[in-house]
Amino acid sequence: MRYVRSLIIVLPLSVFGLACEGDDPVDCRTDGANCSVREAAVQAGVQVGAAFREVSATDDPKYLPALIANFNSVTHEHAMKWAATQPQYGVFNFDEPDRMIELAEANGMAVRGHTLVWEQATVDATPEYVTAITNPEELRTLMANHIRTVVGHFRGRVDAWDVVNEPLDTLGSEVYQNIFYQLMGPGYIAEAFELAHEADPDATLFLNEALVSDDGDKFDALLALTADLLVQGVPIHGVGLQGHFLTEAPNHDELLANLQKLAALGVVVELTEVDIIVRGPGDDAARLERQRQEFFDMASACLAVEACKRITFWGFTDRHTWIDSFFGPDLAPLPLDENYERKPAYFGLRDGLLSGP
């Protein structure tokens, strides 16, 4: 709490170069050099977001000013997952996300909630007391209480929720047989959306999936699942494509086509967890230039689709990224470098945000 309050008092918005009352806003289309990605996003009518880590904000004085100057949306990287919000059966804790939301509200940033239901073998987002359940009615009651309590707590302050994260097999295209599926059947997805909608009728509710930016069976399965939920009358309003471009670079045309196919169903679409690692041959300059083009390709695909309203990065500075611990060092997947300087990727992103109609 302390760091949030002191930051708000000590650093008014104008310090970050944001448009304040009385300031002349920068016109990004004519004054590109002075324009931040946040200003570009505002002019384009979209949001640009980042995953947030409280420990980085507390330990690193450069973190919050850079976040606030460049982004108008935040998503907590872990503190709104089940293991954090209900760490023990029936015991809830919202301290950390509450502090992030206070920061977001004081600085004109939207909040994306991530995530209500996600059980996956390789991460510990769901506690063992959930995966140990064997009685379907017990799990149904627990899931209902979790969603009602969490969404109810944040009602009106979180504009969008990833209701179900990664519903499909990571490397396949079947519905993933997590504990909810095993005990409640495939209908657990619809039930989760109904519960979230009752708890906050104004929130935009998302399915969020990984490895679906390119053409392929997994994307087709996601499209079919979304269409099926809509036909059933389930209150699903959006689909998130995670966008961890680790093994392949963004393919502009395939990403654009996928966004268009989802938009044609009548849902909003977002790129929800973007990181694009540096890759390919050449020296550092060549690799960073390639990454600039890839950021542009990704952002311009979103901006070409009316229903694509937000791009969220999974972090924002190469100093603090999950990629380092999960996939190795020096993959530099984010728009600001380790010293919070703008990388070529930053400018690729900004140009992509300004490329819309």
Nearer to ligand XIL by Cβ, of 52 and 347: the residue is 52
C-alpha–C-alpha distance, residues 71 and 50, integer Å: 7
Smallest gap from Cβ 210 to ligand XIL, in A, equals 6
Nearer to ligand XIL by Cβ, of 19 and 123: the residue is 123
Smallest gap from Cβ 29 to ligand XIL, in A, equals 34
Residue tagged active-site, from 77, 270, 273, 294 = 273
**Checking DSSP bridges between strand 204-209 and strand 238-241, what pairing results, if any?**
parallel
Under 8 Å between Cβ of 150 and 192: no
Nearer to ligand XIL by Cβ, of 289 and 338: the residue is 338
- Residues at the contact surface with ligand XIL, assessed by CB under 6 A: 77-78, 123, 165, 210, 242, 273, 314, 322
C-alpha–C-alpha distance, residues 172 and 84, integer Å: 28
DSSP assignment of 73-126, as one string? EEEESSTTSHHHHSSBTTB---HHHHHHHHHHHHTT-EEEEEEEE---TT--SS
- 191 is annotated as an active-site residue: no
Q: Which tokens belong to 98?
A: 């509450």
Smallest gap from Cβ 314 to ligand XIL, in A, equals 6
C-alpha–C-alpha distance, residues 346 and 89, integer Å: 43
- 166 is annotated as an active-site residue: yes
C-alpha–C-alpha distance, residues 290 and 270, integer Å: 23
Alpha-carbon distances, residue 184 vs 120, 164, 205, 210, 234 (angstroms): 16, 14, 21, 23, 17
Residues 6 or more apart whose Cβ sits within 8 Å of residue 48 = 37, 38, 40, 41, 70, 71, 72, 73, 310, 311, 312, 313, 349, 353
Residues 6 or more apart whose Cβ sits within 8 Å of residue 5 = none
Nearer to ligand XIL by Cβ, of 94 and 322: the residue is 322
Residue 178 CA from chain centroid, whole number = 22
CA-closest candidate to residue 344, choices 272, 283, 298, 296: 296
Residues 6 or more apart whose Cβ sits within 8 Å of residue 148 = 195, 198, 199
Residue tagged active-site, from 166, 191, 209, 294 = 166
Smallest gap from Cβ 183 to ligand XIL, in A, equals 22
Residue pointed to by tokens 């095993």: 182
Smallest gap from Cβ 122 to ligand XIL, in A, equals 9
Smallest gap from Cβ 56 to ligand XIL, in A, equals 11
C-alpha–C-alpha distance, residues 80 and 61, integer Å: 24
Q: Of all residues in this chain, which one has the CB nearest to ligand XIL in the complex?
A: 322
Smallest gap from Cβ 51 to ligand XIL, in A, equals 7
Nearer to ligand XIL by Cβ, of 272 and 300: the residue is 272
Nearer to ligand XIL by Cβ, of 295 and 314: the residue is 314
Nearer to ligand XIL by Cβ, of 50 and 353: the residue is 50
Task: Please identify every residue annotated as catalytic.
Answer: 166, 273
